[in-house]
Amino acid sequence: MVKKVSIVEKIHSANDQLAAENRQRLDRSSVFSLNFMASPGAGKTSLIERTLHELTPLFNIAVIDGDVATSIDANRAAEAGATAVQINTGGQCHIDANMLQKALNELDLDSFDLLLVENVGNLICPASFQLGTHKNLLIASIPEGDDKPYKYPAMYQDVDALIINKIDLLPYVDFDMPYFEKGVQILNPDLVTFPVSCRTEEGIQFWIEWLKEQIDSKKNI
Ligand code: MG
Ligand code: ZN
């Protein structure tokens, strides 16, 4: 039993070391970077497409897409104007810092302002593998239900921003927003939150403004 625990700790400290190296590289090239985490179908790729639509006229953007098998999402990001790199995790249900490092090797980082990393759709282990990105972002969506902060607390505890996607579906789904918000509040009281619909574009402008501020503050360091 004890042996098992120490192996897990070793894996995590090795991962954290690589994550720190990733962060240094991104800082050196003044690239602001975000790690998008969510369950499958919450709208990670849709939000990335919407973000690219708004920001490719202003910034050079790279997308690193983690998926278990296909490159469907990376193709969508490339079509939306980003330089896209695909990580096929070979069945693994999250991206780790080592995979991100290999993907970073494929990019000329000095030529980018923004890096968006789309993690594998999963609400459990992505929370325990730091990648080295500047911010970790969680996308929740209305059809998933209002109990997710209670069921997946680790995911909500450590993120820097929360997107609540598909708010256009609120009239059709039993989603108790005060109950959801209370769960988030307990875990992460100061979490910056953006209710949006990628489909109708409601709320997207606030998300884009926040992101622009983050990119600009990175450039000014
Ligand atoms: Mg996707
Ligand atoms: Zn995993």
What proportion of the chain, given as a percentage, has pLDDT over 70?
A: 97
Å from CA of 5 to ligand 1 middle: 32
Sequence-distant (≥ 6) Cβ neighbours of residue 156 within 8 angstroms? 138, 148, 149, 162, 183, 184, 187, 188, 191
Å from CA of 167 to ligand 1 middle: 18
Instruction: Quote the DSSP letter at residue 200.
Output: T
Identity of the residue numbered 186: I
pLDDT tens profile 78-129: 999 999 999 999 889 999 999 999 999 999 999 999 999 999 999 999 999 9
Residue 120 is encoded by which pair of tokens? 């594998």
Å from CA of 117 to ligand 1 middle: 11
What pLDDT score does 70 carry? 86
Query: Across-strand partners of 135?
Result: 34
Positive or negative torsion for Cα 106, 69, 143, 187? negative
Residue 1 has pLDDT above 80, yes or no: no
Q: Would you list the domain boundaries of the chain?
A: 2-220
Class of domain 2-220: alpha beta
pTM of the model: 0.93
Å from CA of 220 to ligand 1 middle: 31
